Amino acid sequence: MVTAAPADQWRLLDVQANDTRLGQLAHRRRTLPERVEVDRLERQLAAVGDELVRAQTAAGDIARELNKAEADVEQVRQRAARDRSRLDAGVGTAKDLQALQHELTSLAARQSVLEDLELEVMERQEAAEAQVADVQARRESLARDLEAARARLDELVAGIDAEEAKVHDARDSAAADLPTDLIALYDKVREHTGGVGAARLFQRRCEGCRLELPPTDLNRIRTAAPDEVIRCEECGRILVRTADSGL
């Protein structure tokens, strides 16, 4: 049987109050809406980052396609320029000059087709670059939102850290010099009852399980020595007797 002076048992309620507050602060830390917002923005930023890579890859492919289209057009232009120079010089037989004229006509048609293709690729490149710019803008906006959300979260967590430090100090002060076996029993009960190891007996009711004690339990408590550590028969928590216990 564990015994402790009534004053030590009363101090156990202060220890419990501080432990309860520490539990509340830990729960608040885990469930801050700002943490959810940071997680959401991080996921969105990662998704937009992937989208940006895809947009940049597509724009790069089109840029290479445009380079080839431009090179094809330039090659035809140079070929046509050489043929026109030869034709203007009038060098060669009539048959040769006729062949050059025919080739120039073919090259003009080919150049027209290639220039149309080049224009179509240029339009797709413009659209692709606009897409890259749009995704980059969204990414930068999300990055700013994420930075602001992280700042808000860090500020709230810092506030929780500061309060936790104060509550830890208060808890240590309340638990200082309490009997070792009393603290050991309290910690064991608290572990098995969801965080509440000691509760006040108030108006014949256990404030741990909120149940009113039956007459047999109340009679047992009335006759117990003041230094006997009483347990609730319903929930197993340490019951601390006070002037308001209703005994």
Q: Please say whether the beta carbons of 170 and 18 come within 8 A.
A: yes
CATH class for domain 32-168? Answer: mainly alpha
The pTM is what? 0.72
Rg, C-alpha atoms of the chain: 42
Dihedral in degrees, nearest 10, Cα atoms 30, 36, 42, 48: 160
Q: What is the pLDDT of residue 241?
A: 94
How far does CA 195 lie from the centroid of its chain? 28
Are 193 and 212 in contact by the 8 Å Cβ rule? The answer is no
Measure the CA–CA gap between 61 and 57, rounded to whole angstroms: 6
Give the domain ranges of the chain: 6-26+179-241, 32-168
What 3 state SS string does 86-149 have? HHHHCCCCHHHHHHHHHHHHHHHHHHHHHHHHHHHHHHHHHHHHHHHHHHHHHHHHHHHHHHHH
Three-state SS at 9: helix
* Each residue's pLDDT expressed in tens, for the chain with a length of 247 residues: 889 999 999 999 999 999 999 999 999 999 999 999 999 999 999 999 999 999 999 999 999 999 999 999 999 999 999 888 888 787 777 887 888 889 888 999 999 999 999 999 999 999 999 999 999 999 999 999 999 999 999 999 999 999 999 999 999 999 999 999 999 999 999 999 989 999 999 999 999 999 999 999 999 999 999 999 999 999 999 999 998 998 7
Q: Which residue type occupies 102? A: H
pLDDT of residue 91: 74
Which tokens belong to 69? 């289209």
What is the signed CA dihedral for 63, 66, 71, 77, rounded to 10 degrees? -150
Contact (Cβ atoms closer than 8 angstroms) between residue 165 and residue 96: no
For 51, residues 6+ apart whose C-beta sits below 8 A from its C-beta are 135
Q: What is the pLDDT of residue 100?
A: 84
Instruction: Give the relative orientation of helices 94-175 and 33-89 as an angle to the nearest 10 degrees.
Output: 170
Distances (CA, A) of 27 to 33, 37, 149: 12, 17, 20
